[in-house]
Amino acid sequence: MKTKQVGKVLLAGSLTASLLLAGCGTKQESAPGTGGDQGKATIRVAMVTDVGGVSDNSFNQSAYEGLKRLEKDLGVKVQYAESKKKDDYVPNLNGFIKDKWDLTWGIGFLMAEDIKKAAAENPNAKLAIVDSNLEGKIPANVTAVTFKEEEGSFLMGVIAGLMTKSNKIGFLGGMEFPLIQKFEYGFKAGVYAVNPNAEVKVAYAGSFNDAAKGKVLAASLYQGGADIVYHAAGGTGDGLFKEAKERGKGFWAIGVDRDQSDLAPANTLSSMVKRVDTAVYTVSKNLANGTWDGGKEIVLGLKQDGIGYAPSTSKNTPADVIAKVDAFKKQIIEGQIVPPETKEKFEAFKAAYKK
């Protein structure tokens, strides 16, 4: 197979208009397409979830919503396999590859090594992964989609920094990997930009599918004085919303990946929306239309409309705060502010930032 040059693509303009990224599993679901342009219903697209599962109220669920939209719009057949543990990744991926699905998605950076192995062993199979660029070595039969999580997290930090009454804010992470640290340090930078006197306390759960532990850690952050907690913890973050609801008025949560306000409507300030659904939809649609984005990293941030804040933000966040968020969003898009991804870059940001 001829190898395509590996490239990094920054999509301009509306993501919806231009892109989409879009086994034998532990659990599978499928349905024939019934709507849209039936003339394009020539491919089958599958996805393998991370351990959070397809109903994690986070990025796995968002990815599946992208697949369901693909099914509705184009009549493409879709299916998913749920991974209950890391050992499920390989058999889930291989199940779809063996059955010759046209495109198989791996949802989450924890699947990176397994995607690389599957791609090498099956050069005629097309695969895609969310949240990993495979260390820049992307095979021609793989599309990698990554996001500038630090940009959206910066905006969440602006909200938290302006809204806190205690000047104590919490960050709840899933597993302490570089990807999740992008959320952490982008968030800390946003807080610092508007409220340098505020303290951000950090707790990591070591899991993306342990809501009970998420609740315990959220309780600890609230008890330590935090009145706002932002999470980047997948299904573990469900515990944050439960704890906030139980504590009641004045205890705020900020969601991630998709609009999570439904989990605690009276206690959610905002959610950092990461358009995994649109990415999955667009890349898959491109394939259905005869274009394969293999060998490329597609990078999505605020400028590409791949990151943003949930429309429900206006319910509990005052208009003047949202206006300031929009002002910072504009500065980030124009390159005047570059949110940090690491501890080192965060320290440099603090040293250089002038309000």
Please determine whether the domains at 7-148+276-300 and 150-271+309-350 fall in the same fold group of CATH: yes
Q: What is the pLDDT of residues 177-198, one digit of tens each?
A: 999 999 999 999 999 999 999 9
Q: Cα(180)–Cα(255) distance, rounded to whole angstroms? A: 14
CATH second-level architecture of 150-271+309-350? 3-Layer(aba) Sandwich (3.40)
Q: What is the pLDDT of residues 93-112, one digit of tens each?
A: 999 999 999 999 999 999 99
Q: Cα(252)–Cα(228) distance, rounded to whole angstroms? A: 5
CB 209 within 8 A of CB 235: yes
Of 154, 184, 189, 180, give the one whose Cα is nearest residue 170.
184
Share above pLDDT 90 across residues of the chain, in percent, rounded to a whole number: 85
Checking if the pLDDT of 280 tops 50, the result is yes
| pTM, entire model | 0.84
CB 201 within 8 A of CB 229: no
Q: Take residue 296 and report the two structure tokens written for it.
A: 């490329």
Q: Cα(179)–Cα(183) distance, rounded to whole angstroms? A: 7
Q: Where are the domains of the chain?
A: 7-148+276-300, 150-271+309-350
User: What is the pLDDT, as a whole number, of residue 13?
Assistant: 39
CATH classification for the domain delimited by 7-148+276-300, as one of 3.40.50.10540, 3.40.50.2300, 1.10.540.10, 3.60.10.10: 3.40.50.2300
Of 50, 49, 32, give the one whose Cα is nearest residue 41.
32
User: What is the pLDDT, as a whole number, of residue 355?
Assistant: 67
The DSSP code sequence of 289-337 is TT---TTEEEEE-TTTTSEEE-TTHHHHS-HHHHHHHHHHHHHHHTTS-
Q: What is the pLDDT of residues 147-182, one digit of tens each?
A: 999 999 999 999 999 999 999 999 999 999 999 999
